[in-house]
Amino acid sequence: MFRETLIGPRWLAVAGVSTLVFLAVITAISTPVVVGNVEEIGGWVIALLIAGFILILGAGLVGLDRRIRVSVSATHIDAHLSLFRVMHIPVTDVDKVEVADVSPSQAGGLGWRIVGSDRFVLWSSGSAVWLTLTNEGSRVIRSDRSEELRDAIQSVSQASPA
């Protein structure tokens, strides 16, 4: 049906690499201290350090990959931010499809954003598909081919039983 991959800004890749380098340095410095004092530090602090490591690693990898993949199938509209599926919208939940301009300031930033009952996925300002859902929420997907994305969603919506 429809597939598109959007590449984020170059500075995001630089931020991702910087985050991973920072994580490697902090890990190299803190590991000997933690291993040498396991009894004094305690399990909760170690669990918190491991959770922080995983979150920072994930943020660095998302920044390094910096891809949004959008696809429309016969039953769903999906948006993936790197490896994570952030939107999975059944076509039957779409009430209205419009093309509109969107900016990061409307979304509260870049990437996958939640603003009230609205969800945004974008790397930059520009044309996007604005989906109004039957449950009163909306989903906004930034696309370099928004008219084509809108047409694909409309054709699938008309073909699927309500």
Distance CA 141, CA 20 (A): 28
106: tokens are: 């409307």
User: Which helix (H) or strand (E) covers residue 68, if one does?
Assistant: strand 67-72
Closest CA to 87 of 121, 46, 125: 121
What are the tens digits of pLDDT across the range 85-142?
899 999 999 999 999 999 999 999 988 999 998 999 999 999 999 999 998 889 999 9
Please provide residue 54's backbone torsions phi and psi, each rounded to the nearest 5 degrees: -65, -45
Q: Where are the domains of the chain?
A: 2-65, 89-159
Question: Would the pTM count as exceeding 0.75?
Answer: yes
- Cβ atoms of 102 and 128 within 8 Å: the answer is yes
